[in-house]
Amino acid sequence: MNYEVLGRYEVKQQLGKRAGRRTLLACDRETQKLVVIKLLSFGSDFDWEDLKLFQREAETLKALNHPFIPRYLDYFEIDSPQLKGFALVQTYIEAPSIEEHLKAGRTFSEAELKQLAKSLLEILIYLHGRQPPVIHRDLKPSNILLTNRSGNNVGQVYLVDFGSVQTLAAREGGTITVVGTYGYMPQEQFGGRTVPASDLYSLGATLIALVTGTHPADLPQKDFRIDFESANLSVAMSSWLRWMTEPALDRRLDSAQKALQALQQKQPLKNNVLLVEKKPTGSKVKLNKSADYLEILLPPKGFPYKFFFSGSTLLNIFYIFSMISVVAIFHQSLSLMLLGCLLSFIFPFLIVCEGLFKKVRLRIDRKEIYLTHELFGFEYNRPRPAARQKITNLEYIKRRFKKSNKKFEINPQLIIWAGVQKYVLNGKYETVDSLHSLTEPELEWLAHELSVWLGIPITIELPPAER
């Protein structure tokens, strides 16, 4: 269908078309500026739900004022023999979409990917910070415009097409319309539920599409997670994208502000608590890392003085030796007496060996995380290795005293969560009594290194005070 003039607007060309809708490029004859006109026409394929979304888009754009979002210009009804419907007029942005860039053969480096992510997150921070929050619901390459790169700049980024937009107030006020694009939609959106974190998933899926050159729906999945491990990305960037596209809503980044902080890694901890960023002087902990792996080697704890100078330990050894000796004398058995001596001292011997020679190695590579205990050439894992992609949370528990007795401490701990499995530093391996336990500065340093390498911010937890 051809439209030459719509009121004060002279149509130049058709930009897009779908059922009941058309997008036109036109010239405003009063200002002589190019504009975009979105038409919703009444016809055989008209749906009243489309009209609701169309009106919501107009209302939303009218309330927005952001340099990188199209600006609302006009909204009017059309009633002519050729067309009956509504028109939404907005500013024209002269830039191709990212989808067009991809079709033209443009590729994106990791540095450019981060620039795109930063620009889009800043737009989402604005949208989600509105009252009520505005959720785009259809963030994808074709709805992101990008000017040509200049120097080291990826180009200026614009977010367009608010035809699927929803405010939280609208969601709470009635029925939900499931809209979006398969491959870029999180699971909760299929169920009609959308929150700010839904846009973060779509952004993550979009960035994955850019780096892989493949539609996310065409990539393999593992446990509903997009598998993009073949992409040439740093471990930190891969971890951040996995966090953005986490299927479970409660494990995904929940705000654009936090996502931006995690991407930039300027603030690795919550509550503005800073970590020790350099290895503490005198620390014997060894840290090896590259783009492919990070390895922490904890040295032997040292001679367990506290164990041997503990009254309860000496009493237990004496008790075991005495009991076996009584039995040996009763049976007049020298071999039993010797066995008693052996059993009485083998346990302390093992404790000494563990303290002097046992090493603990935590290693994370592109495939898995594992904690290995090594003693005299024997190795065993505790807990068992877990898939690298399951790591979604770093938790740091600060040292504190119990309220009831300030002589007793609650140890600091650094916990790496991989699904429901946790890997603990300063847990069983280190005790308050050990002279060679990890200190709080060592734990904070390791927490900082893990946070930067994994691309995951750290949450701080304080143990509940004893009442």
Three-class SS of residue 389? helix
Integer angstrom CA distances of residue 320 from 298, 304, 324, 345:
33, 20, 6, 10
Query: Residue 86 pairs with which residues in a beta bridge?
Result: 40, 77
Closest listed residue to residue 89, CA positions, set 3, 4, 9, 163 = 9
Q: Is the peptide bond before 247 cis (omega within 30 degrees of 0)?
A: no
Q: In degrees, to the nearest 5, what angle opens at C-alpha 401 toward C-alphas 397 and 404?
A: 135
* CA dist., res. 12 & res. 34, Å (int): 9
Task: Read off the tokens for 324.
Answer: 């076996």
Three-class SS of residue 134? strand
* CA dist., res. 432 & res. 467, Å (int): 22
Q: Is 250 labeled as catalytic in the residue annotation?
A: no
* CA dist., res. 410 & res. 397, Å (int): 9
Residue 147 DSSP code: P
| Torsion 193-197-203-208 (CA) sign | negative
Marked catalytic residue, from 138, 227, 292, 433: 138
Active site residues: 138
